[in-house]
Amino acid sequence: MSSDKDDIDVDEDFTPSDSDDAEAPVEPAKTNLSKRRTIDNLLEERRLQRQLADYDFDL
């Protein structure tokens, strides 16, 4: 068991980096939603085109 008096190693030379925050700006939810809708529409269009290609027109 550890006791409360154990020494903890601390890196005192640590400098926090703010570059991570600058690289990934937070996008508004509206922008993310519109991108998701665009992707969904493209996937739906592909699915429908595959169904048309597989459809037997010689009934």
Predicted confidence pLDDT, tens digits, the chain (59 residues):
555 566 666 666 766 665 555 566 777 778 899 999 999 999 999 999 999 998 877 76
Dmax (CA) for the chain in angstroms is 85
Amino acid at 12: E
- Could you tell me the pTM of the whole model? 0.46
- For 46, left (φ over 0), alpha (ψ -120 to 50), or beta? alpha
Please report, for the chain, the start and end positions of each structural domain, with discontinuous segments joined by +: 28-52
- Residues 44 and 5: their CA atoms lie apart, in Å, by 62
